[in-house]
């Protein structure tokens, strides 16, 4: 079973890498748009890469995530200049995926860049890869589990409840605004309603459940996902319940020795291979099966 898990995990990494390269080449991003949450908190949707946050403080601006390309990051910086003449002083990174960090290359040097400590390690490890994180814009402040801080007069609580989407996810909570930036712990614009777990970055489906419980417990009413539309606490509770139910079903089938095709068939998922030239990342079902069947 250990060998099977290793083969499946390696296959997952290779397929995910191919999918990302294919998607990046084929995707035509929708135009960037800025959406207002309050007089000082905004988020952007569209452009290349994940959603970004814009928080305007007393003397400067805090940005959450940096887009996928320098060109798209420059668009964000241009939109910030329309909102305020204050400079960007800080960038907070929710996780190490290229569609959230590679746009850092367009930001000026000398900024404070904050991430979870494993996120920084993953960004460093990407050096020399096909799509590396900008090595001259690595995080210079890291968080382990929890830290409360005030930046430009804005209060933040930064949280990590363990590996989930990746090993280095960072939840960004603004208690005064009751707003949370979730990164890709929450993604709502994909056909599969279940979470994305990167096993190659030591993510965890059980960890995702714990992180979602932590997010939902926060005194917040607006949640900005890594991709997709603004969410409510009720929407996140439904997402968590669906993920927990699916994981428990898979766990029971793994316990009685069901194969992955048998599990997928029982759950009504296709077992057909991808069409020639088509790639897709491991589904939540495949990830959970790989996690639970290793021994």
Name the helix (H) or strand (E) containing 208.
helix 205-217
Cα dihedral value 111, 114, 120, 122, nearest 10:
-110
Contact residues for 258 (Cβ-Cβ < 8 A; gap 6+): 266
Q: Which residue has the higher pLDDT, 241 or 131?
A: 241
Kindly report, residue by residue over 38-66, the tens digit of the pLDDT: 999 999 999 999 999 999 999 999 999 99
Domains of the chain: 2-293 (3.60.15.10)
Q: Is 172:202 a contact under the CB 8 Å cutoff? A: no
pLDDT for residue 203 is more than 90:
yes
> Is 55 buried (19+), middle (13-18) or exposed (0-12) by CB count in 10 A?
buried
Specify the pLDDT at position 137.
97
Cα(249)–Cα(254) distance, rounded to whole angstroms? 9
Name 187's bridge partners.
227
Starting from the edge strand earliest in sequence, which strands make up the sheet with 146-151, in order?
146-151, 154-159, 171-174, 179-187, 222-227
Specify the pLDDT at position 279.
55
Query: At 277, is the pLDDT very low, low, confident or very high (cuts 50, 70, 90)?
Result: low
pTM over 0.85: yes
Q: Is 186:239 a contact under the CB 8 Å cutoff? A: yes
pLDDT for residue 131 is more than 80:
yes
């Amino acid at each position: 079973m250990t060998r099977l898990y290793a083969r499946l995990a390696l296959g997952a990494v290779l397929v995910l890498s191919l999918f990302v390269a294919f998607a990046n080449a084929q995707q035509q991003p929708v135009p960037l748009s800025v959406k207002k949450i309050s007089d000082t908190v905004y988020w952007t949707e569209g452009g290349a890469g994940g959603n970004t946050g814009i928080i305007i403080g007393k003397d400067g601006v805090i940005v959450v995530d940096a887009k996928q390309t320098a060109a798209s990051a420059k668009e964000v910086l241009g939109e910030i200049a329309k909102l305020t003449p204050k400079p960007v002083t800080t960038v907070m990174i929710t996780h190490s995926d290229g569609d959230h960090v590679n746009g850092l290359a367009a930001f000026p040097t000398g900024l404070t860049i904050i991430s979870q400590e494993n996120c920084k390690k993953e960004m460093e490890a990407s050096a020399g890869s096909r799509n590396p994180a900008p090595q001259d814009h690595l995080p210079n402040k890291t968080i382990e589990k929890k830290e409360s801080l005030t930046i430009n007069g804005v209060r933040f609580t930064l949280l990590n409840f363990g590996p989930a989407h990746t090993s280095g996810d960072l939840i960004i909570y603004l208690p005064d605004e009751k707003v949370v930036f979730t990164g890709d712990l929450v993604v709502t614009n994909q056909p599969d309603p279940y979470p994305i777990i990167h096993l190659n970055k030591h993510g965890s489906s059980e960890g995702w459940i714990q992180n979602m419980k932590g997010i939902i417990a926060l005194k917040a009413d607006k949640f900005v996902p890594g991709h997709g539309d603004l969410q409510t606490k009720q929407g996140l509770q439904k997402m968590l319940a669906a993920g927990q139910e699916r994981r428990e079903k898979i766990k029971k089938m793994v316990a009685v020795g069901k194969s992955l095709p048998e599990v997928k068939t029982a759950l009504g998922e296709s077992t057909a291979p991808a069409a020639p030239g088509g790639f897709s990342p491991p589904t939540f079902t495949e990830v959970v099966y790989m996690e639970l069947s290793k021994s």
